[in-house]
Amino acid sequence: MNRLAHETSPYLLQHADNPVDWWPWSTEAFDEARKSNRPVLLSVGYSSCHWCHVMAHESFEDQPTADYLNAHFVSIKVDREERPDVDAVYMEAVQAATGQGGWPMTVFLTPDAEPFYFGTYFPPAPRHGMPSFRQVLEGVRSAWSDRRDEVAEVAGKITRDLAQREIDYGSTEAPGKEELSQALLGLTREYDPQRGGFGGAPKFPPSMALEFLLRHHARTGSEGALEMAQDTCERMARGGIYDQLAGGFARYSVDREWVVPHFEKMLYDNALLCRVYAHLWRSTGSELARRVAVETADFLVRELRTNEGGFASALDADSDDGTGKHVEGAYYVWTPEQLTEVLGEEDAELAAQYFGVTDEGTFEEGQSVLQLPQDEGVFDAEKIASVRSRLLAARAGRSAPGRDDKVVAAWNGLAIAALAETGAYFDRPDLVEAAVSAADLLVRLHLDEHAKLARTSKDGQVGANAGVLEDYADVAEGFLALASVTGEGVWLEFAGFLLDHVLAGFVDESGALYDTASDAERLIRRPQDPTDNATPSGWTAAAGALLSYAAQTGAEPHRTAAERALGVVKALGPRVPRFIGWGLAVAEAYLDGPREVAVVGSSLTEEGAKALHRTALLGTAPGAVVAFGVAGSDELPLLADRPLVEGGAAAYVCRNFTCDAPTTDPERLRTALSR
């Protein structure tokens, strides 16, 4: 029976034709396990996961393996991007039991959903000390049949241990200057001065930590913070992790030097990095930062935009290498011979020097990932533009990586914020329009009549899974950015609806936040994690959105909730700053006010008002909020009682709704927002 055929998840649909008798995560699946007295195999992955594809081909497409699974297990397939709550709960168990985690995640459960055996990828034959998948299945079946009491005891103990874990909330007070200075010191200790970034291989883009560093520099003038952000951004932009032909970042680098990426491209990474590079340009005027921000924004719109106006989740790492075989990186890598075939000998030599393509290769089998190892200023810009254009055209003839067309609310919220700000900074109204279209889709399709948010949609069909905390927080963040850029109060209103749900359903009496709502499906543990992963945690993203909304509206409950939520940053920031970077960035905004900027004019098209509005958006004060509108308008609360000055456009800079004297001069406004 093909139970996955009508799912909206591209990952589940990839498995719809497997010989394995898959179930989606459902009450019915566990009822079947209970009725048939079989254990559950829970397999969790996502569409662009390379090793998920490998295990699927080796094991789940193998008829004998499928026959064994179908006879002795109830098999459940979960897309971690649709059900981050299920993924989080069982990944916590995997990491506690094995000391590591990853995808595909393979967990064996009782019919009561209690885990008792864990792993990630299992090969089809024993390899490097790992048992084969068939050996694992046979061992689990034997334990289930012959040692059921022992299995039940293990499962019960693991479940109790998980249920008893509690976050060290630490404080209900936001961090102060001392804690943020300690966090900076901690990041400095972990910084890689030779290569940029933090830690060793694999090396991930530290988007949230970079945002903290930029805000810390803006508040304190710390040159060390700015240097770490600048150097890391430059080294990533020059490395193979960045697509030197078409823009956009890969998921991570397998080495410390940013040379060889894991080639999948995720919406969330590119949204976060687009915003970071735009903010770096705002702080420094760096031409490299400007170029990367714009190219990354263009990549988002060109490669990930869906027909409905939202943004798809990811591009795969693998594609057809021309022989019918799917190979990681095949779309992106080059040999000297391939350069010559496209460019001719003379220009191929130039391209090899410019992009770091060598005879030995920097990847596999003599292939190289394109980089920018040298100063571009020594090359003829016109020739390089021609080379890049011809290589890009030739690459378009290759088999492109598959795309996960699932629209995830949280990640679209991040993209909306990035595109709105990048479009405003660089006079690209098309990017702002793309942000508005995505926001319209979320309102039209993902929000129900009670302003409750669905996590996903695909091809215009909304998914069945409820939004989690990061969805509410990141979409609110995107809507707040749109309100600042467009001056349209409706986006502030929608952000308020979402944040009211956060206060009502995700916060407990201590001020701590949970990743799922109080009325969500009950799992063996209610997931709760304030630390960043590939994206800001729902906890700290909510703190940031609540703080910005309070600054725009004066809503005291929202500011109080933000302050209490930041208590975890006070506790964790000095100890693990790499893993709570967004919380530290929000704390910088909190310490700065954040500042509230109201810009009024006689119309939205008045040149003086537009100049002040642009200056306000380009201000580097951490987390400053901007309201823009016609004097006398009540569309945005910050505009109330803000008259024109001598008949002309004016800007008001306030903290906690106490304002400096208004100014009509963009230069004075710039100064006010930089001190």
One domain, residues 123 and 239: no
pLDDT at residue 168, as a whole number: 64
Residue span of the structural domain in which 485 resides: 190-316+404-592
pLDDT at residue 282, as a whole number: 97
N- to C-terminal Cα separation, the chain: 65
Question: What is the average pLDDT across 167-192?
Answer: 90
Among 370, 397, 424, which residue terminates a domain?
397
Gap between the Cα atoms of 482 and 479, Å rounded: 5
- Has residue 165 got a pLDDT over 80? no
- Has residue 491 got a pLDDT over 80? yes
Closest CA to 354 of 321, 386, 330: 386
The number of distinct structural domains making up the chain is 4
One domain, residues 42 and 81: yes
- Has residue 450 got a pLDDT over 70? yes
pLDDT at residue 95, as a whole number: 85
One domain, residues 363 and 374: yes
- What does 480-517 look like in DSSP terms, one character per residue? HHHHHHH--HHHHHHHHHHHHHHHHHTB-TTS-B-SS-
pLDDT at residue 271, as a whole number: 98
Q: Is 379 contained in some domain? A: yes
One domain, residues 114 and 150: yes
Gap between the Cα atoms of 479 and 498, Å rounded: 10
Q: Are 628 and 484 in contact (CB under 8 A)?
A: yes
Which residues does residue 116 pair with via DSSP β-bridges, in sequence order?
none
The pLDDT tens digits of the residues spanning 575-605 come to 999 999 999 999 999 999 999 999 999 998 9
Query: Considering the entire predicted model, what is its pTM?
Result: 0.94
Q: What is the CATH number of the domain that holds 158?
A: 3.40.30.10
The pLDDT tens digits of the residues spanning 406-423 come to 999 999 999 999 999 999
The pLDDT tens digits of the residues spanning 84-97 come to 999 999 998 888 77
One domain, residues 136 and 81: yes
Task: Out of 47-51, 135-139, 466-470, 659-663, pick the least confident.
Answer: 47-51
**Quick one: tokens of 249?**
């970042």
Q: What is the CATH number of the domain that holds 202?
A: 1.50.10.10
The pLDDT tens digits of the residues spanning 263-305 come to 999 999 999 999 999 999 999 999 999 999 999 999 999 999 9
CB atoms within 10 A of CB 273: 24
Helix (H) or strand (E) holding 475: helix 469-486
Q: What single letter denotes the amino acid at residue 574?
A: P
Gap between the Cα atoms of 227 and 321, Å rounded: 40
* pLDDT bracket for residue 57 (50, 70, 90): very high
Q: In what order do the strands lie in the sheet with 407-408?
A: 407-408, 456-458, 461-462
Q: What is the mean pLDDT of the chain?
A: 94
One domain, residues 610 and 524: no
One domain, residues 110 and 222: no
Gap between the Cα atoms of 585 and 587, Å rounded: 5
Gap between the Cα atoms of 609 and 602, Å rounded: 8
Alpha helices in 538-650 (DSSP H): 538-553, 556-565, 567-572, 581-592, 607-617
Q: Is 351 contained in some domain? A: yes
- Has residue 662 got a pLDDT over 60? yes
Q: Is 428 contained in some domain? A: yes
**Quick one: tokens of 401?**
């990586």
Q: Map residue 207 onto helix, strand or coil.
A: helix
* pLDDT bracket for residue 49 (50, 70, 90): confident
One domain, residues 499 and 356: no
Among 164, 181, 211, which residue terminates a domain?
164
One domain, residues 347 and 230: no
Q: Is 5 contained in some domain? A: no
- Has residue 99 got a pLDDT over 80? no
Q: What are phi and psi of 658, to 5 degrees?
A: -110, 120
One domain, residues 575 and 611: no
pLDDT at residue 170, as a whole number: 64
* pLDDT bracket for residue 56 (50, 70, 90): very high
Q: Is 267 contained in some domain? A: yes
One domain, residues 393 and 416: no
pLDDT at residue 171, as a whole number: 72
> What count of Cα atoms within 13 Å lies in the side-chain half-sphere of residue 26?
13
One domain, residues 588 and 607: no
Helix axes 381-396, 336-343, angle to 10 degrees: 100
